[in-house]
């Protein structure tokens, strides 16, 4: 098993086990009552590995920023995939975003990312701050290879793997309006996509709204 898959599996197991344990017995009613969502996200690119980003270690900003608009839909409780991962994961969503990249060393780049979101939403402190944690896996297509992915690399490709990590926060009195902190990641997944790209990572915040 590659290092990439080991890291991804470990994050899913550790995060999912903790959240499912603390939320055991709860029903993810918020995302079922409001199965659609739209999100606007602004992030800046950093010249760090994914593990450094997730641990917030010595972040080095790259001269580029992104803006994204995402639409997501929560799968019904009867959906096969959602039943398959239950009770480890409470909510499963299908989502996609359109991202615009602007940097000092490149023309404007458009990025298209479809993915599946695995979300843990029923936490014991939700009566104080409504919170969710999420991980997404999908693919990413960019109209041009971002400069950070070409840095000291050849055989770069526009079609890569996509990962997303997110935490959302909302007032219990109005949980549909959420503040999101997110990591947006593109990479060749350690050779899985046969691409020489360096991974690109963006961190930032967004606003999400859930609706029927």
Residue 40 clears pLDDT 80, i.e. is over it: yes
Domains belonging to the chain, first-starting first, are 3-211 (2.40.160.20)
> Residue 155 corresponds to which tokens in the numbers above?
């055989």
Q: Contact at 8 Å (CB) between 31 and 119?
A: yes
Beta carbons within 8 Å of 103's beta carbon, 6+ residues apart:
45, 62, 63, 64, 65, 146, 147, 148
Q: Model-level pTM?
A: 0.86
pLDDT band at residue 180, thresholds of 50, 70 and 90?
A: very high
pLDDT band at residue 103, thresholds of 50, 70 and 90?
A: very high
pLDDT band at residue 136, thresholds of 50, 70 and 90?
A: very high
Phi, psi (rounded to 5 degrees) for 78: -90, -5
Residue 18 clears pLDDT 70, i.e. is over it: no
pLDDT digits (tens, 9 = 90+) for 63-90: 999 999 999 999 999 999 999 999 899 9
Q: Contact at 8 Å (CB) between 71 and 38?
A: yes
Strand 109-120 to 130-142 pairing? antiparallel
């Amino acid at each position: 098993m590659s290092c990439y898959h080991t890291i991804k599996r470990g994050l899913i197991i550790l995060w999912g086990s903790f959240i499912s344990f603390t939320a055991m017995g709860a029903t993810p009613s918020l995302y079922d009552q409001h199965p659609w969502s739209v999100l606007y996200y602004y992030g800046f690119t950093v010249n760090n590995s994914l593990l450094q980003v997730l641990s917030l270690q010595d972040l080095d900003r790259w001269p580029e920023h992104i803006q994204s608009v995402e639409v997501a839909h929560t799968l019904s409780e009867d959906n096969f995939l959602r039943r398959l991962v239950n009770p480890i994961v409470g909510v499963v969503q299908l989502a996609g975003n359109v991202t615009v990249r602007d940097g000092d060393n490149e023309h404007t780049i458009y990025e298209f990312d479809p993915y599946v979101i695995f979300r843990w939403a029923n936490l014991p402190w939700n009566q104080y701050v409504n919170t969710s944690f999420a991980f997404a896996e999908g693919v990413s297509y960019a109209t041009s290879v971002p400069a950070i992915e070409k840095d000291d690399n050849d055989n770069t490709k526009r079609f890569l793997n996509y990962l997303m990590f997110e935490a959302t926060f909302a007032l219990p009195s109005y949980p549909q309006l959420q503040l999101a902190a997110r990591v947006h990641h593109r990479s060749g997944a350690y050779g899985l996509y046969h691409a020489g790209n360096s991974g690109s990572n963006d961190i930032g915040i967004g606003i999400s709204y859930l609706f029927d």
